[in-house]
Amino acid sequence: MMIQISVIAASFFKEQMSNPEELIAQANKIANKSGGFLSSIFGGSSTSKYEEAADLYVQAANLYKLQRRSAEAGEIFEKASELQIKAENNDEASNTLIESFKCYKMESPERAAKVLERAIGMFVQRGQFRRSANFKCDLGEIYENELQDINNAIKSYEDASEWYKGDSATALSNKCLLKVADLYCDDNIKNYKKAATIYEEIAKKSLNNNLAKWSLKEYFLKAILCRLADENDYSSANAVLMRFLQWDPSFASTKEYEFSSKLIEAVKDCNPDQIAIESKNFDKFSRLDGMKVRILNTIKSNLNVAPDTVEEDFT
């Protein structure tokens, strides 16, 4: 008889613990209950109810995850974090917000971005800049790829780059800056001058870096393309090209240098057909990616509205 009762009790307990709604109801009840006069006399903690309720919320959220109900899990993790903040457990709260973010990003990128911003803010307050930078990259990817919010994506990658730089993580900092430069070339932004400056900056930093030096010709080419896309500024593009040769004389023997030189001449001569020809020739050697193709199209389009006079610097 005792064994039968134990089995029934265990079955009831299992059913209760597999029902997230029951856990949430229990958590709500605990979080909203009044401490009362006796609890204050006998030392009941004013934050203990929030801790207990938050634990139940976390259990419920994990059950939602098991049931593949990501949005509900994200919402309950978020509620748990709010109670953890009330209980002055900010470390737990920030980690719980990360769990909320992981759930939301599957179904609701806007809510995912919102809770991740809050978590990052808490990490920054505690001086955890390396961790903040890692999650800022995640945030940038959401803004870029899910929400198509390029301005906020740029801001996120810029913040991450600065925080990596402060943590002496130069390679990660430069990686974020390259994302920023690429996004400045987006058709909705088209800040080619800013993009060119970043490519030139990273190229200069990479001159004495054996691991990054192989990428120099790519940075050089992107910088030249951006200079040309910036209102047909072939004068500036040529000056930058000469500077690149001073930095790395071996660049003169590359297809990227040959392509850059011919593009500068084509823009100077206002010859869109020559741009098309040189682009096709280079594409046979090295496939032009989508971003470069868009920039080349911008350069060609700008030739139709080229100014009558452009100051030359072909010295």
- Band of pLDDT at residue 46, cut at 50, 70 and 90: low
Q: What is the pTM of this model?
A: 0.85
Q: What is the mean pLDDT of residues 193-220?
A: 94
Nearest-angstrom CA–CA distance, 230 and 225: 9
Q: What is the mean pLDDT of residues 27-54?
A: 73
Nearest-angstrom CA–CA distance, 177 and 78: 31
Nearest-angstrom CA–CA distance, 111 and 276: 44
DSSP state of 18: T
- Please spell the DSSP secondary structure of 259-298, one letter per residue: HHHHHHHHHHTT-HHHHHHHHHHHHHHSPPPHHHHHHHHH
Q: Which of 280, 155, 296, 275 is nearest to 222 (CA)?
A: 296
Nearest-angstrom CA–CA distance, 232 and 302: 7
Q: Is the pLDDT assigned to residue 5 strictly greater than 60? A: no
- Cβ proximity of 53 and 28 under 8 Å: yes
Tally Cβ neighbours within 10 Å of residue 97: 29
Q: Is the pLDDT assigned to residue 305 strictly greater than 60? A: no
Write the Ramachandran bin of 43: left for phi over 0, alpha for psi from -120 to 50, otherwise beta. left
Q: Which amino acid is at 262?
A: K
Nearest-angstrom CA–CA distance, 118 and 59: 22
- Band of pLDDT at residue 189, cut at 50, 70 and 90: very high
Q: Which two tokens stand for residue 193?
A: 């001058």
DSSP state of 142: I
- Band of pLDDT at residue 43, cut at 50, 70 and 90: very low
Nearest-angstrom CA–CA distance, 271 and 279: 13
Q: What is the mean pLDDT of the chain?
A: 89
DSSP state of 149: -
DSSP state of 306: -
Q: What is the mean pLDDT of residues 290-298?
A: 97
Radius of gyration from C-alpha coordinates of the chain: 29
What are the CA-CA distances from residue 258 to residues 123, 182, 240 (Å)?
48, 23, 14
Q: What is the mean pLDDT of residues 272-299?
A: 96
- Cβ proximity of 134 and 127 under 8 Å: no
Segment of 9-18, 206-215, 288-297 carrying the highest mean pLDDT: 288-297
- Band of pLDDT at residue 7, cut at 50, 70 and 90: very low
Q: Is the pLDDT assigned to residue 24 strictly greater than 60? A: yes
Q: Is the pLDDT assigned to residue 153 strictly greater than 80? A: yes
Q: Give me the residue label for tokens 């903690």.
A: 45
Residue percentage of the chain with pLDDT more than 70: 87
- Cβ proximity of 267 and 233 under 8 Å: no
Nearest-angstrom CA–CA distance, 238 and 312: 9
Q: What is the mean pLDDT of residues 228-248?
A: 96
Tally Cβ neighbours within 10 Å of residue 199: 26
